Amino acid sequence: MSSEQPQGGDRWVFGYGSLMWRPGFPFIDRRTAVLHGRRRAFCIYSVHHRGTYERPGLVLGLAPGGAVRGVAYRVAEAAWPEVYAYLREREQPTETYFEAWSKLRIDGNGEAPALVFLSDRKHGQWAGALTLEQQAQLIAGASGLSGPNIDYLRDLVMHLREDGVRDHAMEALLKMVEAREA
């Protein structure tokens, strides 16, 4: 992983959570992509979008290990400054992530560097490796500026399925949270 962004030309952005279904920025191409060395996990306490300081929820991060299938967006060079500013505001309200330029395997495009927001394991909102039961307890009933935490989990499971990805752990987690909220 490199901390330096490519100079000039179009740039890629990697989404593994809500960026997959709600990018919120202009792009010229969207492709399925894989990032090696990280995995999708509910490992960040949410005190902004899906919870509060009084009642934290959980949001996704990229925890070390494995590989994660997500989406790569190609952003035109002319749009990059505006898109980058938008992404920093959206992804960094409490600076729980750090930016890296990581190589992705992009379907139909080979390997390319992409902007990736990685979980900062030294940040106070790092939840670490939680059991599914602990995750369900935190997600059930939590809500923040972007709405109920369970909606984020439902969107994730639904959009992963639409992209042909069955994540059995996330599906099991959703069932556990739905049972708690029933």
Catalytic residues: 91
CA-to-CA distance for 49 and 69, rounded, in angstroms?
Answer: 23
CB-based contacts of 118: which residues, under 8 Å, 6+ apart?
1, 38, 61, 62, 97, 98, 99, 100, 102
CA-to-CA distance for 27 and 37, rounded, in angstroms?
Answer: 26
Return the closest-CA partner of residue 77 out of 118, 145, 28: 28
Cross-strand pairs, 101: 2, 115
| Cα separation values, 10 from 71, 107, 157, 171, 180, Å | 16, 17, 30, 35, 45
